Structure 1
Amino acid sequence: MSRARLPHSRTQQVLAVALALALLGAPLASAQPAPGPNPQLAAAQASFESLPEAERKAIQTDLIWTGHFNGAASGSYGPLTFRAINAMKAAARGAPDGMLNPAERRALAQAAQAARDAAGFRLIADEKTGVRIGIPAKILPKRDVSPSGSRWQSEDGKVTLDTSATTPGETLEAVFEKATAPTPNNPGRKITYKLLRPDFFVVTGETPTGKFYRRLAAGPSGLRGFSIGYDKALSGTVDKLVIAIASSFEPFPTGPMPAAPAVAAAPPARATGWLVPQLRYGVALAVAERVAVTASAVVEGCKSVQVGDRGAKLRGSPESGLVLLDVAGGPAFAVQPLRGEAPSDRESLTLVAYDEDGYRRTGPALHGVSRMAVALPGQAVHVGSHAAVLAPLQPGHAGSPAFDRQGRLVGIVTANPSDKVLIAGVAPQRAYAIADGAALHALLTKAGVSPVAATPGPELSTGAVVAKVASSVLPVMCGL
């Protein structure tokens, strides 16, 4: 039987209403009359619609992840998006104009990425059913197969996501009737929302202890969909997660897998209601206007990297325990000159690091994070044929640069101090591998970055060395 097809934008608008009503539990009859024309909303809509479609959808998707938007990311602007943007801006006392300035857009992207990283959210192609769907792998780490598709589940079994597919022949209407019919063997089950359209349906409901959401779509190859069941006690977190998953869902995908969202900077904060992402800390040194170097151990396995308060991406491959990072936006870095000769044995050095214990958390969630810059005494040594530094390093100090008494760069710590060790409250001196000036020079030259050569100068105090180089030494945060 042929089916009338809704235009894609209209389908997305219907889904937006369906998602909002389904998860908020609001019946259609309670909808309020549409308000009169709102000049502020109209101006915000015009501004929003001047953006590329991909950016419009990205903003709505980010608002879903921060918990402000409970519709589908359609790219269309209306009262839901207007209110969501204003709700997001209210925390920073922004003007309630329904528009995002560049700083507000960055803040939104950062908070959304924190929530994605915390959930381990990634778009996958489900081989069992052919659908594309976002999976929160950290929340649903257990994977299995079901009779009609794939299954993901939380460790405690309180959240389950199933995909499903059927061959042509079974009708959407028949499955909808079955999904919404009373179940005598489960009298506590009730339907809280149902929507049937020519090419998809949405059904949500509750049991005495749980909630469920189901979506099924019809296409040339049959019916494809997904369902989520979860404990009611988890509603505050999982309701928002359902919206994000539903927004990512493509029952009959075409074209290549969409790229992961680009984010200006991975934030040091958590989005309200989501798990705090796992983080690793390190140190980087500016080697060009928007290029920094750090130990490869700092960024190994990272899903996101932040240098200072700016996002960063790996440039090229690690070499000699080092890796270069292209840092997004912002003012140009100050670059420190590189000393050509290797340090002599037992030469006094000054290392500049960021103390992991210096983190400051503000507010009920992490709205601001600051790491404390520290200067550490060191001595150049050799472990076998390898250059090293004897210094009191601790976790978070990998990538720290070492400077001589003239403030010239001597090397970068490539070892990763992974254990916090204090003896009578003091960190002990230990030998840690470094990449010396020659290794750094080779890495920069290979990457097309011109090293700045140092010239001899007067000896400086430790404080003067730190003052000279501080603007070039940057904290690194890795989102795992």
Structure 2
Amino acid sequence: MRPFMKLPFALALMMAATLGTAVAQTPAAKQAPQAKQAPAEIKPKPVTTVPTRPAVQTPVDTAKAMEQAERLAIQSDLAWVSLYNGVISGEASDRMVSAIKAFQKDHGAKETGVLNAQERGVLSAEAKKRQDNVGWKIVSDATSGARIGLPSKLVPLIVSDVNGTKWSSTTGTIQIEFLRRKEAGATTATVAAGEKKLNARKADYSVVKPDFFVLSGSQGLKKFYIRGQTRNDEVRVLTILYDQATEGTMIPVTVAMSSAYNPFPGNVAQAGPPPRKKVEYSTGIVASTDGAIVADRQATDGCMTIAVPGYGNATRIADDETRELALLRIYGATGLKPLAMSGNGATKPNLNLTGIADPQNQGGRNSVTVVAATATPAGADDTTLSPEPALGFSGAAALDADGKFAGAVRLKPAVVAGPAGTPLPSQALLVPADAVREFLKAKGVAVATGPSDAKASVLRLVCVRK
């Protein structure tokens, strides 16, 4: 992009005054002494000013005026259409503007470097199509909690153990591996040096910082990209390996994976409160015939109204900040079918989650769906669920293979974390059945017993905020 040259302007002010003194004289014979005359008042001539031309706003200036979330979204979409290969950080830059101009050129539009509403819509649609083609999603590693962006359709084969997970295509042309290990005294420099030596790799790009490293190059007939990080003697490394024939597909995928990768999500400093949507969809579990509904606290927080399609509005009457549960009440509702929540025992690993996905994920419908998930203990108090269910499943009912109530789903909202301000994906957690029962008991709600149909006992909740 040509640099914008600001032309200098000089404003010269000129003023002139002619001073004249008129002397009145009498005839010489009768000449009287001259009286002192007051000096004439000097009036400056009007000054003509030259208007200064306003500074022209550059495309980078326009980008800076946007919300950071929008810049992040634009950079991500440009990366998906193979026009932006920088860090998706939300920084307004010449690289971002150049990518926008390239997109405009490809579509026969004027290369302004600023997307109009129509161009933004086209870019978003093209990026979404490419994401759908590869099955893009965010997953959490079951053993470490690391968050990884994954082209799930390209790598359907999965092998996992305590040391990490490997995803690969059916032919082995694409391989993605996340590994974790303990290594006393490990630094990014020592780990990067070790990765370079493996499998006769030839690195043509290398960045080693105190907190992370990046390597890329060739390994035989394949291309590789490696991103690693160390913390407290623990090493976590993401390796992407693909045949050169798949480079056109994998370059934008690799850029997106690099930006989405978060090896230590629990230790990243949060830079601000989670962003709140004006309209947020979630799932509620019917707890009693008289309208008691168990819901996710954060999904129903700050709502002007909580609409329950088919039943009117609900009122939030209690919450539990420790377990992030909320109790709603639909007054005057009839025909509600509570979910049987009685029972005891440890949580089994294989669960079925019954909920109602965000309407955007199901073509505007209000369908109840059931998805499988694996429950994995994560620390003393948390249990993670993988794969993560769709938006809208926060508050969904979790049942084990025997149909017993196992708890409620909680989707932790995305946060803006780290110095680069990169949004992190949500994380699916399980609020165990005992915690749900204790919450209801404390609020005077008796849990239902006997057989029940989970699909008939969940409702869509629509939170409308200011």
TM superposition score normalised by structure 1: 0.45
Higher-Rg structure is 2
